[in-house]
Amino acid sequence: MQEGHLKTLASIYGIATEYRNIRGERIQVPQKTLVALLRAMGVEDFSPEGLHEAIALARAKKSTFDFVIRVLRKRTERLRVPPSFVGGEARISNERGEVVFRSRVTSPVLSVLLPPECPWGYYNLTIASSNGELSSLLILSPVKAYLPPERIWGIHGALFALATERNQGIGDLRDLRDLQDLVVRAGGRFLGLLPLHLMPKDGPQGTSPYSASSRRLFDPIYLPLDEVLSLFPELSLSIPPDPNPSENLINYELIWREKDRFLRKVFQHFFEKRTETFAALWREFQNFLDREKDRVIWASLYQAIASEAGPDWRKWPVPFRERNEKALRDFFQAREQDVLYFAFLEWLMDRFLERITEKHRILCFDIPVGCAPSGIESWLCRERLVFNFTVGAPPDDFSPEGQNWGFHPFSPWKIRENHYADFIALLRDNMRFARFVRLDHIMGLKRLFWIPEGGKPSEGTYVQYPFRELLAILTLESTRHEVILLGEDLGTVPRFLRSALRRSSILSTRVFYFEREGSSPRHPQEYPPKSYATLNTHDMPPLLAFLEGKDVLLRKDLGIFTPEQAAVLLEDRKHFLEECLKKLQEWGFLQEDNSTPQALLFALCRFLAATPSRVVSVSLDDLLESTTQVNLPGTVEEYPNWRYRLPVRWEKLRERLTHLATIFSPKGGRTEYVQNL
């Protein structure tokens, strides 16, 4: 096998043959990884002759692909046309199929002039000639995403963690409404949430919200049973209590079993009385199905089949696994009520979210970078997924062994062939009720770290994605829905990416724990204006745990860090905290005679208020003085990730939010507003 030809072919397919780690060291990718990746791209013959032929075919394919999708930033553009189509007729139609432009192609460069009334959107260019017909998707998109000029502040947290007196062991949409009302009354206009997407529930430990069954559906485990029952007032049912009130860990399987039993009884009553008592409500449900059938009916079919055939579609009988049309139609006819039950759950989620957001639109929804291999989305998108690779991150100081996130990557070539239909639908479904959307691991728009199935992260490499086109879709959908975009750009990030995000008005994430120069925190004025600033994230310890080094000690106890590594990190933490106290006092955010944890928290809030960052947020865990980390990256069964409950004391939270409002007022963060806490 000729190494030079192998690397040439890999580069055409956007596969990195080497990369630099977080310390700037050059890492060579194993040859077996390159071969496995090229096989996944369709290359079969790795002899010298086979590689030579594959290179020629890949170049030809890439040249053809360049015409398939074009990004337009203005209504007047010059587009290159394959010479064989010169002499043909070009026409451009909008999303309604109306022709908005016609022209004869007289040269290999077509001058496009769209009417000024043409809005941002997707257009189809077709060129018909004696050599056939050629089509291209035109993405007419603004350079910048939606971003209003005002400064915004708020809080963020995990809805599932909210432990209140009225819920069934997991936070629900009633808790979300109450929390949103508190934030709004205090003057906040941002409420960030971990993903609320539909999750597998086939284990008591639950799974990561960043590995959803479908990122286009919301999880009915968040339904508030008391409010569901209020829709059917003549139904006499007892709302189940918290199945495990003394437990401080969420048992997803047990909680869903109780909620599912209750909701099935409600649906049975609704279905039986659909033409009498609930005729109007049934029409509303039917209208929802008509409007959302592509999203909801397929997912409901999946869930009904999974109830009988098991939760992993990869183990189903072949007709179901392959989505055989007759098999699915027969199943629906035989199990219509079972299928409609799952659609009913999604309708309720849709209904409650619409009512929560109709007056105040402050929610920030989080879109994970991937989906569960055994779930709905993988089943529906299997033709575009690469199943012999998973996605993760290379080894770094945060995770010395690297990270394997367990989900399969989408093929950059196949998503392009599909005109990004999955990505567009994903954005639209998540933007319906959101004012903000956070894009987890936004670097995935440019490149993802692919790991061979069963291999170690150190054996992986980066694969390139069509960044310019994905970015254009993002700014277009953001503008259409008036949604502010937040990019999670932490970790190993190419410098150009942050520049591109800034130009596109996508807010970069800046975390106080990471924003430092040596042992000293970065000055607040050094934070970029187009950024989202916070103290920490769900992958990091709350402030109280950070102050005590609990996260480092925990990793040492679990064997992630050696005692020597832990000692170095704890010493570094000590110096950083000393410098933080010194700088916060020097900058006027903290009084010298008051360095209690509570005083430090509000001093750091003043620090955030003094940044020029467009959006600033404080975690609910810090406001309610939690010492528990929601998620410990690099662990699965060793640590109860995503399961800790956070007792909510509404009055205390109200007081804390009122105080935040004084800090984040237009004059907040300045020396004269330092109070003796």
Give the mean model confidence (pLDDT) for residues 21-31: 89
Q: 39 CB contacts (<8 Å, ≥6 apart)?
A: none
Whether the pLDDT of residue 87 is over 70: the answer is yes
Whether the pLDDT of residue 204 is over 70: the answer is no
Q: Is 63 or 478 the better-scoring residue by pLDDT?
A: 478
Among residues of the chain, what percentage have pLDDT more than 90? 83
Angle among Cα 487, 489, 491 to the nearest 5 degrees reads 160
Classify residue 151: in a domain, yes or no.
no
Whether the pLDDT of residue 54 is over 70: the answer is yes
Give the mean model confidence (pLDDT) for residues 634-652: 92
Classify residue 35: in a domain, yes or no.
yes
Whether the pLDDT of residue 167 is over 50: the answer is yes
Are both 78 and 129 inside the same structural domain? yes
Whether the pLDDT of residue 659 is over 60: the answer is yes
Q: For residue 265, which phi and psi values (nearest 5 degrees)?
A: -65, -40
Which sign does the torsion angle of CA 231, 233, 234, 239 carry? positive
CA distance readout (Å), 147 to 30, 118, 524, 552, 616: 43, 22, 21, 38, 14
Q: What is the pLDDT of residues 545-555, one digit of tens each?
A: 999 999 999 99
Give the mean model confidence (pLDDT) for residues 12-31: 91
Are both 2 and 66 inside the same structural domain? yes
User: Which pLDDT does position 395 carry in this prediction?
Assistant: 85
User: Which pLDDT does position 667 carry in this prediction?
Assistant: 58
Angle among Cα 626, 628, 632 to the nearest 5 degrees reads 145
Q: What is the pLDDT of residues 609-626, one digit of tens each?
A: 999 999 999 999 999 999
**Closest Cα to residue 142, out of 499, 479, 439?**
479
Are both 46 and 80 inside the same structural domain? no
Are both 65 and 127 inside the same structural domain? no
User: Which pLDDT does position 594 carry in this prediction?
Assistant: 82
pLDDT band of 400, cuts 50, 70, 90: confident
Q: How far, in Å, CA of 207 to CA of 52, rounded? A: 45
SS3 (DSSP) at 367:
strand
Classify residue 28: in a domain, yes or no.
yes
Q: How far, in Å, CA of 135 to CA of 128, rounded? A: 9
User: Which pLDDT does position 675 carry in this prediction?
Assistant: 37
pLDDT band of 665, cuts 50, 70, 90: confident
Classify residue 63: in a domain, yes or no.
yes
User: Which pLDDT does position 1 carry in this prediction?
Assistant: 57
User: Which pLDDT does position 674 carry in this prediction?
Assistant: 38
Are both 1 and 62 inside the same structural domain? yes
By mean pLDDT, which of 67-76, 350-359, 422-431 is the weakest?
A: 67-76
User: Which pLDDT does position 295 carry in this prediction?
Assistant: 93
Give the mean model confidence (pLDDT) for residues 618-645: 93
Residue 169 burial (CB count, 10 A): 25
Classify residue 56: in a domain, yes or no.
yes
Classify residue 21: in a domain, yes or no.
yes
Q: What is the pLDDT of residues 289-331, one digit of tens each?
A: 999 998 999 999 999 999 999 999 999 999 999 999 999 999 9
Are both 1 and 66 inside the same structural domain? yes
Are both 18 and 47 inside the same structural domain? yes
Classify residue 12: in a domain, yes or no.
yes
Burial pattern 81-92, b for ≥16 Cβ within 10 A else e, equals: bbeebbebebeb
Give the mean model confidence (pLDDT) for residues 70-96: 93
User: Which pLDDT does position 203 carry in this prediction?
Assistant: 55
Are both 52 and 104 inside the same structural domain? no
- For 83, the domain range is 74-140
Domain count, the chain: 2
Are both 29 and 93 inside the same structural domain? no
Residue 168 burial (CB count, 10 A): 24
Residue 437 burial class via C-beta count within 10 angstroms: exposed 0-12, middle 13-18, buried 19 and up? buried
Classify residue 85: in a domain, yes or no.
yes
Among residues of the chain, what percentage have pLDDT more than 70? 97
Q: Which amino acid is at 607?
A: F
User: Which pLDDT does position 60 carry in this prediction?
Assistant: 83
What is the reported pTM?
Answer: 0.94
Q: How far, in Å, CA of 325 to CA of 119, rounded? A: 37
Q: Is 492 or 624 the better-scoring residue by pLDDT?
A: 624
User: Which pLDDT does position 274 carry in this prediction?
Assistant: 94
Domain C-terminal end among 70, 96, 117:
70
Domain C-terminal end among 46, 70, 94:
70
Domain C-terminal end among 22, 46, 70:
70
pLDDT band of 82, cuts 50, 70, 90: confident
Give the mean model confidence (pLDDT) for residues 487-514: 92
Give the mean model confidence (pLDDT) for residues 110-137: 94
Question: What is the domain-level CATH number for residue 121?
Answer: 2.60.40.3080
User: Which pLDDT does position 494 carry in this prediction?
Assistant: 78
Running DSSP on this structure, what letter comes out for residue 410? B
Q: How far, in Å, CA of 74 to CA of 115, rounded? A: 11
CA distance readout (Å), 256 to 141, 143, 191: 42, 44, 25
